[in-house]
Structure 1
């Protein structure tokens, strides 16, 4: 319970300026190892709004949730690890706001893994399946490395083939097949890395249930560009 309270406070610190995202507030000193006391947040579960996919409200909700998750990962490096519909409430449908509950599971990547994740998404957006394969493999031994790289290149190419815009790509399906390739060639990935990818797959599926035209590959580009600009600015200032 203390860990969840810490996570809630951390999310409020990094995302307190987000007008359309809210977290319950832990009430100290009433929090103990066995008891979590937090503010009550009214709202309706987001699954209530899935009966009319593609409506304007649904599109707004999908975009808010997607942008929040991507910012957690690529900008703040602190990701809610359990964003299923039961943990997301909707407040004020005129100016939609999402309340994110049950923050006991949260993940941060080590600096190198975070760089790898950004590079992985960049390679997918560019359609570079060989680069995706190499990033996932790292320095691991792989007796079938050439077949592995070929399989990954074919997967990414097939996922993007004939699509004029990347919003047509189902990211959850793409990552599911990517895991199949990794398992076939016995390529291991770190547990925290897996947790982040699973969170991405869940939010992609949820977003598409609200807005079938939504795609994370399109939404992730501003986050990648934001981080690139930040790194360039830090480099210039440091110089």
Structure 2
């Protein structure tokens, strides 16, 4: 489901509050919005950006630098070609280049680059308050109602429609088991209290579907 008109306006306003209203900030914001709106995306879209930023709003009380986390969210999937690890690396490089144009301080830029890297593994260190927030915000979709979770899994499958079903099932199952095998899916106090149980139910149910022979939902191109 795409952003509605009101959400699109609010998303642009959120960038302006974060980066300012200067021409450089406007140009960087326009580039980011174009990237998030690329036609090959099915899940990693403007809607994912919007919902992840809203999750940061919920978790911001646990962040050391909530605006730094917001910058990391804007950049974390700005490069998305379905190449785990490499996409995050190139997104971090993009953040370093474009935030300098916006006029952010080197220390803030370095921290945003580091936080984008956290989204490649979703394994922040215990001391890393901002890493916990950016990781949990990115994974908050896992705790959605069943219909929203099924729409999410169908969109992920669509982004990998070029991958044979057998290969996709195996790869997706590894990702889910990696998250479930940790002591927690979520790292913030709020995430553990409010999202953990629902997310585990959703992921275990998805693993059951992946293990079956039933065709996976795949929307039209």
On whether the aligned pair clears a TM of 0.5, the verdict is: no
| Bucket of the pairwise TM-score, normalised by the shorter protein | under 0.3
Could you tell me the TM-score, scaled by structure 2's length? 0.28
Larger Rg: 1
Greater helix share, 1 or 2?
Answer: 2
Higher relative contact order (CA 8 A, sep 6+): 1
Greater strand share, 1 or 2?
Answer: 1
